A and B are shown apart, each in its own frame.
Chain A
Amino acid sequence: AQSVTQLDSHVSVSEGTPVLLRCNYSSSYSPSLFWYVQHPNKGLQLLLKYTSAATLVKGINGFEAEFKKSETSFHLTKPSAHMSDAAEYFCVVRATGRRALTFGSGTRLQVQP
């Protein structure tokens, strides 16, 4: 079985400060891990993906995530938040050979001016 736990339902930061969105996963097999972002009334946009290559993954818009197998974590970070980063973020896992993506419950990021 596979599952994803996003440890914070809401995160609020000030513009220009670092962002940390936390994700822990559980998977029976070597997983593929993704972060998606969803702006209001929009679909999901892929930020980055981990597929057993480098453990530090760089994505779009300055985001990056680090895969830590020993901690079963895949936290998303950004050095400096921008107002346009305000959105819902989903950590997603897919085990090798599985068809479906399994989504976390999401973290809503607020960016204060």
Chain B
Amino acid sequence: DAGVTQSPTHLIKTRGQQVTLRCSPISGHKSVSWYQQVLGQGPQFIFQYYEKEERGRGNFPDRFSARQFPNYSSELNVNALLLGDSALYLCASSLVSDSNQPQHFGDGTRLSIL
């Protein structure tokens, strides 16, 4: 079975632009979470979606938004990009949003802001 897939793998943008990152969860998984991993640090929680509804939000500005589609895939949008948005963006999926369920991560999208 395919794992969590993310696209694109790499992306280069300039300050002020907008970007959309995509994630397909493991088949049967209904919960998708997004994390930002700045170089040299652990991932930071951005959003969780379950059954197309936002179920959790981390401490990120309103420039960050996301949505989940009926097939449980998800998009993360970032507007008005800043240099500090350069990071690895990770998507994780799990069967449900229960805390005992492990999250399975994709390989991420490396976003570079020039």
Which residues in A have some Cβ–Cβ distance to B below 8 Å? 32, 34, 36, 41-46, 49, 51, 90, 94-106
Contacts known (A104-B42, A106-B41, A106-B42); A99 close to B56, Cβ less than 8 A: yes
Contacts of B15 in A (CB 8 A): none
Q: Determine if B76 is an interface residue (Cβ-Cβ < 8 Å).
A: no
Contacts of A102 in B (CB 8 A): 45
Total A-B residue pairs with C-beta atoms closer than 8 Å? 58
Task: Give Cα A44 to B103, complex, Å.
Answer: 9
Q: How many residues of B contact A (CB 8 A)?
A: 25
The contact sample of 7 A-B pairs, CB cut-off 8 A, is A32-B100, A43-B108, A46-B103, A95-B99, A99-B45, A99-B56, A102-B45
User: In the complex, what residue of chain B is closest to A4 when comparing beta carbons?
Assistant: B42
In chain B, residues 57-114, which have Cβ atoms closer than 8 Å to a Cβ of chain A?
58, 90, 92, 97, 99-100, 102-108, 110
